[in-house]
Structure 1
Amino acid sequence: MNAVQEWRPRVVTPTEAGAEATAAGLIRYLRDGADLDQLLVDEKALVFRGFGVDEAHLEPVMDLLLPGRLAYLHGNSPRTKVGDNLYTSTEYPPEYTISMHNELSYAHAYPSRLMFSCQLAAETGGATPLVDGTRWLEALDDDLTAAFSGGVRYLQNLHGGMGLGKSWQDTFETSDRAEVERFLAASEASVEWRKDGGLRIVQLRPATIKHPRTNTEVWFNQADQWHPAGLGDETAQALAQIMPAEELPQAVTLADGTPIPDEWAVQIRDRGLASAVDVDWVTGDVLLIDNLLVGHGRRPFTGQRRVLVAMSA
C-alpha cells in the first residue's frame, strides 16, 4: 500500500500530549504545546481521545480548535443549533448511512476545519467514516473524472415555510431576503425568488480542488448526495421518480447541464465509503478534520447518539 491508502487519522491521547486526562489538560496542550496548524495539515484529521470533553467544557476547546467559528449557513443537512455556532451533527434517520462528503463543498463559502464532539456514543454503530480526498479521487474511473472536469451544477429549491426539504429561512438562519441576497452575492449563483415564497438557487462549482498549502488535488463535490441514485432514502428516491428534477428540493448535473448517469452517482458514493476509515466514537472524544483534505459521513446506529459539530474558515 502507498501512503494515501494507509492513511488513518492521528489519535492524540493524554499520555502522548503529556497532559492530564481532562478537558483542562487538553486546553493547556492546545494552548501551549501544539502547533495545531501544521499538525492538522500533516495528519489531515486528529482524534483527541481520553480527555473526556463534555458539553460544559466544550466552549474553550472550540475556541482553540476553531478560531472564528462559522454559522452553518447554506447547509442542507437537518440539524439543530445548540450553542454559539454549535450544532447537532445531523438529524438524518439513524438507520441510514450518510455517504462521504466535504462540508458545504457545493457552496461558494465552505469551512476549512470541522470539529466533532461525541457527547454520547451510540449503543451500536454510529461511527464517523473519514476518507482521504486524494484516495477517493484515485478510486474513481478515468472516464468519470474526465466528465466531471468541467465542474458540477447544483440546483436547490428552498421553500418559504411549508414544503419539501428545508426552508430558506432555516438554511440561512434569517427571514430577511436582503440578507440572503447579500450572502449569495459573492457566490456567482443564480438566485430566483418564486411566487410561492420559495427560493431557487443554481450554482456551478468545481468537482475537484487543490489544497492551498499542500497543492494536493482532492475530490470535492456532493454530486452523489444530490443525485437520486446516490440516496439511501427510499422516500427521496420515490419522489425523484414522480417530480421533474428542476422541482426537487435539490438536483445535480454536470456543469453544462448533462445528466449524471445513475451508475456514476453510485460509483462515487460506494467507492468513497469503501475507501474510508471509521472513527468509532468514545464518549468525550473530539475530532478535528481538514475539511478540504478529508471527507466524512456517518454509519447507521442504534440507541441514542449525540455528536455535536462546529466549523471555521
Structure 2
Amino acid sequence: MSTPFTATRLRPRPVSSAEWVRESLLDAEQGYLKIVEARRPGLALDAWIAGHRAELETALVEQGGVLFRGFAVADASAFSAAVQALSPNLLDYLERAAARQEVAHRVFTSTEFSPDGWIPMHHEMSYSHNWPSRIHFYCDVPPAAQGRTPLADERRVTARIPEAIRQRFLEGGVCYVRNYGPEIDLTWQEGFQTQRREEVEAYCRQTGTAWTWLDDQHLNTRQVRQAMVRHPVTGEHLWFNHAHMFHVSNMPPALSRALLDDVGEAGLPRNAYYGDGSPIEPETLETIRAAYRSEMRLFDWRQGDVLMLDNFISVHGREPFSGARRILVTMTDLHVHRT
C-alpha cells in the first residue's frame, strides 16, 4: 500500500544564509569592512537587508561598514529602498561644502569636484553642528579609470595621531572660516539651500555660527566645532573634524598662492584654525594626513555596488579618475552634537 503525501513531506528544505550570499572582509587582518556578495542572480537588496537588520547593525559598528555586491539594485530608487530598509529617515544636505545634484528624494550625486584631484578622506559633515551617523553610496556608473573611494578605520587613525596634537585640538576645538560667493566657491544660496537671507541667519543663530554679510552675494561665516567625538554606541573617543580638509594647505600650491594673492587669507573660500583663532601649523596637518594615508584601504567599484558606512568609524574620500563615473550618495540617522 502506498504512503499518502503529508504536509511534513512537502515542507521545503530550509535555505541557509550561505547559499544566498558569500561574506568576507576588505581587510581580514584588521577586521575592517564586511563584504556581502549575492550568490544568486536577482536577489533584492532591500528584502535581504530587512531580513538581516540586526547583524548589519552589528557589522556597521564592529567592521565600520558593509559593501553589498551582486544584488539587484538597478537605479537610484532601488538604492533608496535598500537604504531605507535599514535606516528609514533620509537626510537633506544643508550647510553644504560642495556642489551636488539631487537625483531622487534625498539621493544626491557625490561631490562634483574636478576629477583630476584627490578628495582626502574625511567624516561626512564633521565641520557642522550635526551630521549623519551613516552615509551610503551606490555605484551607478563604475569609473572608467581609477575613481575608487578610499576608506579608513578612524579607530586606527586616531591611535596614530600623537597625543600632543590631540590635546592641542581638544583645548578649543577647530574654527572654520568660510566665504560664500559666486566667484570663488559655493554661493550662499547653494550652501544653505535657500534664497532668503533671513533663513540663513536663522540657521546660523540656531547653530552658533557667526555671520557677516559682505554684500548681497557674499557671506562670511565663522564657527567653532569639535575636534573629537565619542561614538554613540561604543563610547570610543575618535578624531572627527575637517581641519585637514578646509585648511589652505589642502589646496594645490599654485591655487593657494593665486587665491592668497587675489583675495588674501581673509577672503579664502574656506580655512581652518585652532578654536582660539590661532593658525594651525602645516606640519601638524601633514601628520594628520599621513595618519589617514597609512590606514587607507581601496576597492574597485562595480555597477550596482552599495556601500554603507558608520560615519563615526569610517572615513571616505575619492581618488582622481578619467572618463565616466557616477556614484550616488544618501545620508541617514542624524546625530546632534552636544558639548
Relative to the length of structure 2, the TM-score reads 0.84
C-alpha contact 2:129 2:207 (8 A) present in aligned 1:
yes
| RMSD, aligned α-carbons | 2.0
Cross-structure match for 2:298: 278
Cross-structure match for 2:179: 157
C-alpha contact 1:229 1:237 (8 A) present in aligned 2:
no
- For residue 137 of structure 1, the aligned residue among 141, 145, 158 is 158
CA distance, structure 2, for counterparts of residue 207 and residue 167 of structure 1: 27
Query: Mapping of 1:175-194 within 5 angstroms?
Result: 175-194=195-214
Q: What secondary structure is seen at the aligned counterpart in 2 of 1:82?
A: strand
- Quote how far apart the aligned CAs of 1:73 are: 0.8
C-alpha contact 1:114 1:288 (8 A) present in aligned 2:
yes
CA distance, structure 1, for counterparts of residue 252 and residue 137 of structure 2: 23
- Quote how far apart the aligned CAs of 1:65 are: 3.6
- For residue 49 of structure 1, the aligned residue among 50, 53, 69 is 69
Deviations 1:1-42 (A, max 9, x none): xx9982421001224xxxx433x5211111123313333222
- For residue 33 of structure 1, the aligned residue among 41, 52, 55 is 52
- Quote how far apart the aligned CAs of 1:52 are: 4.0
Q: Which one-letter code corresponds to 2:164 in the other structure?
A: D
Q: What secondary structure is seen at the aligned counterpart in 2 of 1:111?
A: strand
CA distance, structure 2, for counterparts of residue 58 and residue 104 of structure 1: 22
Query: Mapping of 1:117-128 within 5 angstroms?
Result: 117-128=138-149
Moved more, 35-44 or 83-92: 35-44
C-alpha contact 2:34 2:59 (8 A) present in aligned 1:
no
Cross-structure match for 1:101: 122
Q: Which one-letter code corresponds to 1:40 in the other structure?
A: L
Q: Which one-letter code corresponds to 2:266 in the other structure?
A: E
Moved more, 111-120 or 261-270: 261-270
Q: Which one-letter code corresponds to 1:229 in the other structure?
A: S
C-alpha contact 1:117 1:308 (8 A) present in aligned 2:
yes
- Give the greater-gyration-radius structure (CA): 2
C-alpha contact 2:46 2:81 (8 A) present in aligned 1:
yes
Q: Which one-letter code corresponds to 1:33 in the other structure?
A: H
Cross-structure match for 1:207: 227
Cross-structure match for 1:220: 240
Query: Structure 2 stretches of 5 or more lacking a match?
Result: 1-26, 335-339
CA distance, structure 2, for counterparts of residue 268 and residue 33 of structure 1: 37
Query: Structure 1 stretches of 5 or more lacking a match?
Result: none
Q: What secondary structure is seen at the aligned counterpart in 2 of 1:6?
A: coil
Change (3 A) 1:102 1:257: same
- Quote how far apart the aligned CAs of 1:157 are: 1.1
CA distance, structure 1, for counterparts of residue 265 and residue 178 of structure 2: 10
Cross-structure match for 1:306: 326
Q: Which one-letter code corresponds to 2:121 in the other structure?
A: M
Relative to the length of structure 1, the TM-score reads 0.90
CA distance, structure 1, for counterparts of residue 260 and residue 312 of structure 2: 30
- Quote how far apart the aligned CAs of 1:118 are: 0.4
Q: What secondary structure is seen at the aligned counterpart in 2 of 1:112?
A: strand
Q: Which one-letter code corresponds to 1:273 in the other structure?
A: R
Give identity over the alignment, percent: 32
Change (3 A) 1:34 1:65: closer
Cross-structure match for 1:91: 112
- Quote how far apart the aligned CAs of 1:265 are: 2.0
Cross-structure match for 1:13: 37
- For residue 85 of structure 2, the aligned residue among 57, 64, 72 is 64
Change (3 A) 1:118 1:300: same
